[in-house]
Structures are given as structure tokens and as C-alpha cells.
């Protein structure tokens, strides 16, 4: 994964005033927030701006945070909201029509032994973090974000629903589809890298 910023511009106020409290919990989550912001922006410069804005907004809203709770999820919510606001200012957001779970399930192809082997080989690659980053980058944002929140940052469905401000059922639907798309990308990478066993492909890479 890309490196996070080594420094963060100072936020207003006395950072030492609540040592071991708010500042410690938020800064402990910096790496996770940076990874999340990078997946949203897909640009290191925009990512650093978004992280900075997130921590500034968090500092101003610190009275709303309860110490000892899920600080990363709280920061993800702020980060995601700021990103949506930025996109809304820049251009009109295209509304994605939610894929129905039954329709997704009807088109799902079950894994074969060859697919399992290909995925295991990809997971064992030393450069897997970079492979995963590139695979995630090509997913539509509406499906990529739940995968990052739940599978990469290890948040719960409930936290993801709060961060994205959508029902849990919508999170599950988007995550289901996102995982399938990610799996296709990883299998396509395995095939391109010659990691498959030569058996018939289980998935075809989606047309760009």
C-alpha cells in the first residue's frame, strides 16, 4: 500500500491538553484513515488534502466523540462525508442503481478448484498489497468503498452502514458485488501472470 504522510499539519489548540485522550486515539487511527482516503481519491496529493481536512473537521467536532469508542469508524464517516461533499461541488454525482441480491446471485459463477488455486497463489505473492491496491482501484467506487471498510479496515457491517449512511442491507448488497468484482480482477491478474494451472477460465475479466 502507498505510504501515509509522515507529518500532519498542526491542528488548532493545545495538542498536549488531552494527552492520552482524543489526540492519541485519532492519531492512532491515522494510518487507517490515510488508506481509506487513498482508496477514495486514488491520488496521493488529493488523499493528503482529504486526510488533513478530516482531522481538522474531527478536531472541531471533538465534543461529539466519546473516548474509547470506535475512533477509526468515526473518522471514516467524516472522511467519506467530506469526499462526497467535494465531489458534489465538482460535478453532479451519477446515481448508481443498486443491484438486487437475487439478480447478483443468479449470475454468480461458483468457484472451481482452478479458481481457488489461482487466488491462493495471488494471496501468497510478496507484492500482494500492490496487486490488491490496483485491483481495488478499478472497481466502481460504490462497490469499492464497502470492501475497503469491511475487508481491508476490518470494520463491522453496522459501522460501514453508519459511515456510508445507508441501510445494512445495502452494505451487504454492495459488498457482495464488490467482492465478486475484486475476485475477477485478482483471477485475471493470476492468469496474466501465469499463475493458473492451465484449466479453463472460471471468470472473464470485465470489459473496460
Contact 8, 17 (CB under 8 A): no
Position 108 pLDDT exceeds 60:
no
- Residue 187, domain extent: 101-192
State whether 105 and 85 are in the same domain: no
Query: Among positive and negative, which fits the CA dihedral 4, 34, 155, 149?
Result: negative
Looking at residue 129, its pLDDT comes to 81
Least confident of 1-5, 62-66, 167-171, 177-181: 1-5
State whether 106 and 165 are in the same domain: yes
Contact 2, 44 (CB under 8 A): yes
Model confidence at 113, pLDDT cuts 50, 70, 90, reads: very low
Residues 169, 38: Cα–Cα separation, whole Å: 26
Tell me if 5 is assigned to some domain: no
Tell me if 188 is assigned to some domain: yes
Tell me if 113 is assigned to some domain: yes
State whether 84 and 151 are in the same domain: no
Cα 9 to its chain centre, rounded Å, is 24
Total count of domains within the chain:
2
Tell me if 12 is assigned to some domain: no
Q: Give start and end residues of each alpha helix (H) in the chain.
A: 22-28, 30-41, 44-60, 71-90, 101-107, 113-123, 128-137, 141-147, 157-164, 168-192
State whether 26 and 67 are in the same domain: yes
State whether 73 and 108 are in the same domain: no
State whether 108 and 85 are in the same domain: no
- Above pLDDT 90, what percent of the chain? 36
Tell me if 36 is assigned to some domain: yes
Model confidence at 170, pLDDT cuts 50, 70, 90, reads: very high
Amino acid at each position: 500500500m502507498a505510504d501515509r504522510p509522515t507529518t500532519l499539519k498542526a491542528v488548532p489548540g493545545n495538542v498536549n491538553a488531552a494527552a492520552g485522550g482524543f489526540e492519541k486515539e485519532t492519531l492512532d487511527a491515522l494510518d487507517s484513515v490515510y488508506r481509506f482516503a487513498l482508496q477514495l481519491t486514488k491520488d496521493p496529493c488529493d488523499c493528503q488534502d482529504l486526510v488533513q481536512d478530516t482531522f481538522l473537521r474531527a478536531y472541531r467536532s471533538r465534543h461529539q466523540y466519546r473516548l474509547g469508542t470506535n475512533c477509526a469508524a468515526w473518522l471514516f464517516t467524516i472522511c467519506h462525508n467530506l469526499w462526497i461533499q467535494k465531489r458534489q461541488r465538482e460535478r453532479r454525482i451519477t446515481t448508481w442503481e443498486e443491484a438486487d441480491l437475487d439478480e447478483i446471485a443468479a449470475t454468480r459463477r461458483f468457484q472451481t478448484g482452478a479458481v481457488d488455486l489461482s487466488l491462493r497463489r495471488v494471496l501468497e505473492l510478496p507484492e500482494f498489497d500492490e496487486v490488491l491496491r490496483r485491483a481495488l482501484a478499478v472497481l466502481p467506487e460504490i462497490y469499492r468503498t464497502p470492501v475497503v471498510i469491511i475487508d481491508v479496515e476490518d470494520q463491522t457491517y453496522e459501522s460501514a452502514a453508519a459511515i456510508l449512511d445507508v441501510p445494512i442491507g445495502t452494505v451487504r448488497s454492495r459488498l457482495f458485488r464488490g467482492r465478486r468484482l475484486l475476485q475477477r480482477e485478482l483471477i485475471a491478474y493470476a492468469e496474466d501472470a501465469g499463475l493458473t494451472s492451465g484449466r479453463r477460465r472460471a471468470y472473464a475479466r470485465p470489459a473496460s
